[in-house]
Structure 1
Amino acid sequence: MYKLLVIEDDVMMSDMLSMYMSGEGYEIKQAENGEQGLKLLEQFVPDVVLLDLMLPDWDGTELCIRMRQHSTVPIMIVSMKSEVSERVQALRAGADDYLCKPFSMHELSARVEALIRRARLMQPNAAGGQQEEAGQASEKEIKLDSERRLLLVRGTFVETTFSEFEIMKLFLTHPGKVFSREDLINAIRGFDSFVTDRAIDVHIVNLRRKVEKNPKEPHYIRTVWGVGYKYVTEVEATR
């Protein structure tokens, strides 16, 4: 049974969310303010957090930053605020998805499932990646710092956008796998609802500038003509 933490000061909304998701098979804990939420994050260790941006004691974005300093748990913002600027702020604070009120409970459930699925998919691959790094020192040229959402490229931290980080995370956890543009769109669609094939190409260009020694002759992020892109490890790139 997956565990869900609801941080919401509107009792009626919190109860409604909890009742529905409990019916979907989740174990639920509720917090009516940020302080309670932080305590339950540590004690309850949820699989997903539903976080309202407007809390009596914390600004939701600041709370998201605080939570992200101590946990990699998927965080979904559930808020009345629908402005693009609010979504961007939440994204930069470390949130994984954003749902505007009012919303469909079916959509909420589907998005929560997607967050859990993505988190579970990354865990075993991340462990495998660490084993590979232990045996191949050259793999350490490019790594992810998930806590700070940064890339470590040849010993230097490089900032990325949300979409760039998610794409690079997908590449690094599945080296050699060819991803179509649609695959990459689906990986970042949580926030960027208007992402297109052209936007993916722009993200790839920007990532090459950040990780390649010569972006015009990429060794790591390769184009697979007619299909999409794949990430090639240092060992494979030198063969």
Structure 2
Amino acid sequence: MYKVLMIEDDALIGDMVSMYLKEEGFRVIREENGKDGIAALADFQPDLLLLDWMLPDLDGLTICRQVRETSSVPIMIISMKNKVVERVNALGAGADDFLCKPFSMHELIARANALIRRSQMHVVSKQDAKLQAGTGSAHMGMESSTAVLEEGGDLSEKITLDSHTRSMRVHGVMIETTYSEFEIMKCFLNHPGRVYSREDLLQTVRGFDSFVTDRAIDVHIANLRKKIEDNPKEPKWIRTVWGVGYKFVRM
């Protein structure tokens, strides 16, 4: 039984969504403010967080950022806000999906299942990688099955991606990435020097982000630069090709 934590102060919407989710077999608890919701996250360990944007104490984006400091739980923001810039801001804060009020319960259930399914696949991938690593260490001379892409010279200058655990290391330090950031970085490392248009990168992440736009790609690039560049305002790795898109440059 999947667990859903809802942070929603509107009792009518909260009760209605809880009822439908429970009818679909989910276990649901609801908190009415951000402080209680964040506290419940650690105890309840949900498979999905449904988060209202407007709450009496904290706004949804602030909660999103706080949750992302300690948890990779899928987050769906539910809000009356429906402008593209607001959706992009939600993505930049760490949300995985965005649903505008009013919404269809059938769509909510479908999106909830999709987010949880994607998250579970990620967990299975990590478990498989650990199992394969253990098997490899038991057989002397057997090459590791972990696929790693590398850039740079010595270890301190490498950017590496592990496709099994979907992890990235920069200068030897583990860096957290979203699913879309990892996919974009994989494209860059596979084809250094190639110029990717925003549409190329949209096709790369489409199916993982349910509300990707050209602006969302710019947000992903900005976030990646913050994670890998010494000075994100003067990037040396991910360069802008004006009027076209972006490219990754070997150093």
TM-score by length of 1: 0.67
Rg larger for: 2
Is the contact between residue 4 and residue 49 of structure 2 (CA under 8 Å) also seen in structure 1? Answer: yes
Residue matched to 1:120: 120
Tell me the equivalent position of 2:197. none
CA distance in 1, matches of 2:187, 2:57: 36
For residues 104-119 of structure 1, the aligned pairs below 5 Å read 104-119=104-119
1:187 counterpart residue number: 207
- 1:114 Cα offset (Å): 0.3
- What aligned pairs does 1:165-180 form with structure 2 within 5 A after superposition? 165-167=182-184
Correspondent of 1:139 among 148, 164, 184: 148
d(CA) in 2 for partners of 1:118 and 1:171? 23
Give the drift of 1:70: 1.3
Instruction: Within 5 Å, give how 1:218-229 maps onto structure 2.
Output: none
CA-atom RMSD, angstroms? Answer: 3.9
Once residues 125 and 109 of structure 2 are traced to their aligned partners in structure 1, the CA distance between those partners, rounded to angstroms, is 25
Query: Deviation at 1:75?
Result: 0.4
Alignment match, 1:129 = 129
8 Å Cα contact 1:167/1:187 also seen in 2: no
Q: Match of 2:210, as an amino acid?
A: G
Is the CA contact 2:180–2:205 (under 8 Å) kept in the aligned structure 1? no
Instruction: Give CA-to-partner distance per residue, 1:106-138, whole Å, 9 cap, x none.
Output: 111000000011011111212333556686498
Q: Distance in 1 between matches of 2:68 and 2:176?
A: 16
Superposition pairs of residues 52-201 of structure 1, within 5 angstroms: 52-130=52-130, 136=144, 139=148, 141=150, 142-143=160-161, 151-153=168-170, 155=172, 163-167=180-184, 184=204, 186-192=206-212
- CA gap of 1:138–1:117, structure 2 versus 1, over 3 A, is closer
1:134-157 Cα deviation digits (max 9, x unpaired):
86498374237xxxx994346378
Q: AA paired with 1:152? A: R
Distance 1:65 1:166 in 2: 21
> Conserved in 2, the CA contact under 8 Å of 1:91 and 1:162?
no
| Alignment partners' CA distance in 2, 1:19 and 1:117 | 21
- Residues of 2 paired with 1:187 and 1:100: CA distance? 19
Distance apart, 1:56 and its partner CA: 0.5
Say if 2:202 and 2:212, in contact at 8 Å, map to a contact too: no
Aligned mates of 2:108, 2:6 — CA distance in 1: 13
Q: Residues of 1 paired with 2:118 and 2:167: CA distance?
A: 19
Q: Name the amino acid aligned to 1:54.
A: M
- SS of match in other structure, 1:70: coil
Q: 1:123 is paired with a residue of what secondary structure?
A: helix
User: 1:183 Cα shift?
Assistant: 7.8
**Sequence identity percentage:** 46
Which segment drifts farther, 36-45 or 152-161?
152-161
Paired residue total = 195
Aligned partners of 1:78, 1:188: CA distance in 2, in Å? 18
Gaps of 5+ in 1: 173-180, 215-239
* Contact 1:5/1:41 (8 A) holds in 2: yes
CA distance in 2, matches of 1:131, 1:54: 43
